[in-house]
Structure 1
Amino acid sequence: MRYLTAGESHGPQLTAIIEGVPAGLPLTVEDINTELARRQTGYGRGGRMLIEKDQVQILSGVRHGKTLGSPITLVVENRDWKNWTNVMAAEDVADKYKERRKVLRPRPGHADLVGGMKYHHRDLRNVLERSSARETTMRVAVGAIAKKFLSELGVMVAGHVTTLGGIEAHLPEKISVAEVKERSEASEIRVVDPSVETAMKELIDRTKANGDTIGGVVEVLIGGVPAGLGSYVQWDSKLDGKLAQAIMSINAFKGVEIGMGFEAGTLPGSQVMDEIQWEKEKGFTRKSNHLGGFEGGMTNGEVIVVRGVMKPIPTLYKPLESVDINTKEIFKASVERSDSTAVPAASVVAENVAATVLANAFLEKFGPDSFDEIKDAVADYKEYLKNY
């Protein structure tokens, strides 16, 4: 399965084309809109979320509630486009519109300056419109299809916030993916630990009042994945590597951990490796899950655990020092509409990005054509694993 997204933050619409979704998968616009709505929630979001109420249109690849096996086209209109029709017009416009909302003062930490240098742009809006996190709208839309595919195969995906601005949430030692999903959905911060929610909200409020932003860490759990997805044979077939790359590709993400992650480098092997056991009803399992569901680049049947760290959003309402690209004078950086934090929303993006990688791994192993055939193949494979 492969996909491309297109569209600018203040352009007329966002688009995705997905190829490789098997035929016969039940799919409705509600399946996708549910995920799009989740992405727009979360304490600390800014004014853009009050304007955009993202709703998808399915323009191809689905008929009568089921996928056809042909490319799927998804479109989400930008409601704010009406305020940007001249500034973002595709056709040539008068100079007065070209000067309107022109960006000459790059924001530290954003793609503005380097993108302008790379593509020879003298108006950095040409960069920020595409590098905006608004692009994740379509990655969530694609992920919604992947999540639907996985759920039909008995796979559950849940995301939550583990750290926000240095405040850590504590995950109970034994908690199911379903319970993580239920608790995070009930929280405005998407934390499973209610004891820290008030402190996190207060920190967000103080940060906003100071014109600043904060980052954090999100975690995605994926349960119901059989052993043997991915491969140890080549570097680019290792599934944990693909998952790490996908998480790192999310806007403002600066690091990835799987399972115990960097802590594994501080402990002896006896406290890191997951001992193997066997039960007649389950087959081979592990006594622990320090390695986050992966061994040798392959799933091992345990819950997949992946975390990503999101830096604070670069757009500050008390902007940092920058340099005008024309005059080379020192100025305060440009200010665009922004959030004080998007970490809760980022957990939703991470869920859907991870789901897309896992769905692709299923398709690689069990075939891309018919969803009914895939279901049967997965069921047979799970039975084989129990009897191995």
Structure 2
Amino acid sequence: MISYLDAGESHGNCLCAIIDGLPAGLNIDVNFINNLLSLRQSGYGRGGRQKIEKDKIEILSGVRFGQTIGSPITLKIANNDYKNWQDIMAPFATYTNQKQVTKPRPGHVDLVGYLKYDRNDMRDCLERSSARQTAIRVAVGAICELCLKEVGVNFYNFVSAIGNVKANIDYSNVDEIKNNLDNELLCPDKNALVEMKKIIDYASQNGDSLGGVAEVIVEGVVAGIGSYKWDKKLDARIALAVMSVQAIKAVSIGEGVENAFKYSSQVQDEIFYDSQTQTYKRFTNRLGGIEGGISNGENIIVKAYMKPIPTTRKGLRSVDVKTKEAQLSTYERSDVCATSAASVVIRAAIAFEILNAYLEKFGGDCINEFKTNVNNYKEYLKTK
């Protein structure tokens, strides 16, 4: 198994993480990691912070001559904006006349964090819960992807809805999806893209924000990953990981939401045997590649439903916790829409969970042992 611990505040010195348990001998492609970090920062409707930060990964331990060596890997991403926040975020200084955050934003952690941790300033809570933390999470997920690529597993993220504008997605044609993502919202439907940008502009002009649906397709996962034991179910683990991403309020595997309103005969993925590939396949993939908590060999499809970002320029009704008087919520520099960025983050979250499930099943202290075990299992499947 692998694990990681991350740390850092939104306007602190840096974000960092330590990953433990990766096989030795894995080639680390820094450009691949940095490209995903850049993709997380892009997108129509992003805020001013993205113009300040140019995220690049720095690897401090666990990699030598471009390969993992079996020891914990330490990652760091510097916060360029820290130079403007040193007095506010100083680890050791006398608290003097710093302006406190006392008017909580509805929908954010401000008030509940203030109550839970008994802080005088809500900045102590919002700094850690900020979506800025997702930068280091993307870096961790990118390394997990590099490991999974070695055994034929690939990831594609995109946006299928912004507000009430929904894209027309053909899930049976993954090539069409992944070949049409070169745009500001990572949306494969060009007609929907135009309308999405319009409603983001409208929200921006009105001091508001928008959410949407971010999706990830995972190609190449073998049948048999996960378990029907409740805490090892692959879909349950994916759902937990995705729900832990900032602003995600619902998760669907395949057509999970739509399936609740249909007859069974309209939902289940009927089975056939492909003699050419010697594998069992499904005529459809409405269940998103997972049955009974176990992967079935079809593409894994995950949909994450993102609420509008709680920070709005026009403010929402709130209370000043010091005076108990009615006030509008505090405005913190933020995005109008970050659904495209969220798709990159949930991709990383899913990659971590799938790699963990692979390592639990196949093991391997080094990448060659891991690959051999997976390939042997693929040959075994052809005999069933």
TM-score, normalisation: structure 1: 0.97
Instruction: Write the distance in 2 (CA, Å) between the matches of 1:335 and 1:198.
Output: 29
Counterpart residue number, 2:29: 28
Q: Please tell me the root mean square deviation across aligned C-alpha atoms, in Å.
A: 1.0
Q: Do the aligned residues in 2 keep the contact of 1:213 with 1:339 (CA within 8 Å)?
A: yes
Q: How many residues align?
A: 382
Letter in 2 for 1:109: G
Counterpart residue number, 1:50: 51
- Structure 2 residue runs without a partner (length 5+): none
How far the C-alpha of 1:263 sits from its partner, in A, is: 1.5
Letter in 1 for 2:118: H
Instruction: Write the distance in 2 (CA, Å) between the matches of 1:333 and 1:267.
Output: 42
TM-aligned CA distance change 1:106 to 1:173, over 3 Å: closer
How far the C-alpha of 1:20 sits from its partner, in A, is: 0.8
- 2:261 pairs with 257, 260, 266, which one? 266
- Structure 1 residue runs without a partner (length 5+): none
Letter in 2 for 1:255: A
How far the C-alpha of 1:387 sits from its partner, in A, is: 2.1
1:279 aligns with 2:274: yes
1:182 aligns with 2:179: yes
Q: Do the aligned residues in 1 keep the contact of 2:110 with 2:126 (CA within 8 Å)?
A: yes
1:327 aligns with 2:314: no
Counterpart residue number, 1:90: 91
Q: Do the aligned residues in 2 keep the contact of 1:21 with 1:368 (CA within 8 Å)?
A: no
Instruction: Write the distance in 1 (CA, Å) between the matches of 2:192 and 2:286.
Output: 25
How far the C-alpha of 1:264 sits from its partner, in A, is: 1.4
1:378 aligns with 2:379: no
TM-aligned CA distance change 1:90 to 1:368, over 3 Å: farther
Counterpart residue number, 1:14: 15
Q: State, as a whole percentage, how many aligned pairs show the same letter.
A: 50
Instruction: Write the distance in 2 (CA, Å) between the matches of 1:120 and 1:287.
Output: 55
1:59 aligns with 2:57: no
- 2:342 pairs with 342, 346, 350, which one? 346
Instruction: Write the distance in 1 (CA, Å) between the matches of 2:176 and 2:144.
Output: 21
How far the C-alpha of 1:7 sits from its partner, in A, is: 0.3
Instruction: Write the distance in 2 (CA, Å) between the matches of 1:43 and 1:293.
Output: 31
TM-score, normalisation: structure 2: 0.98
Instruction: Write the distance in 2 (CA, Å) between the matches of 1:265 and 1:7.
Output: 40
Query: Which residues of 2 match residues 125-204 of structure 1 at below 5 A?
Result: 125-176=123-174, 178-184=175-181, 186-204=182-200
Query: Which residues of 2 match residues 207-356 of structure 1 at below 5 A?
Result: 207-232=203-228, 234-282=229-277, 283-356=279-352
Q: Do the aligned residues in 1 keep the contact of 2:8 with 2:15 (CA within 8 Å)?
A: yes
Q: Provide, for residues 143-166 of structure 1, a one-character-per-residue CA deviation record: whole Å limited to 9, x for no partner.
A: 000111111211110111111011
How far the C-alpha of 1:281 sits from its partner, in A, is: 2.5
- 2:298 is paired with a residue whose SS is coil
Letter in 1 for 2:179: E
Q: Do the aligned residues in 2 keep the contact of 1:281 with 1:386 (CA within 8 Å)?
A: no
How far the C-alpha of 1:173 sits from its partner, in A, is: 4.9
How far the C-alpha of 1:30 sits from its partner, in A, is: 1.8
Q: Provide, for residues 12-69 of structure 1, a one-character-per-residue CA deviation record: whole Å limited to 9, x for no partner.
A: 0000110011101100322211111110001100100000000110000100010111
Instruction: Write the distance in 2 (CA, Å) between the matches of 1:266 and 1:151.
Output: 36
Letter in 2 for 1:56: I
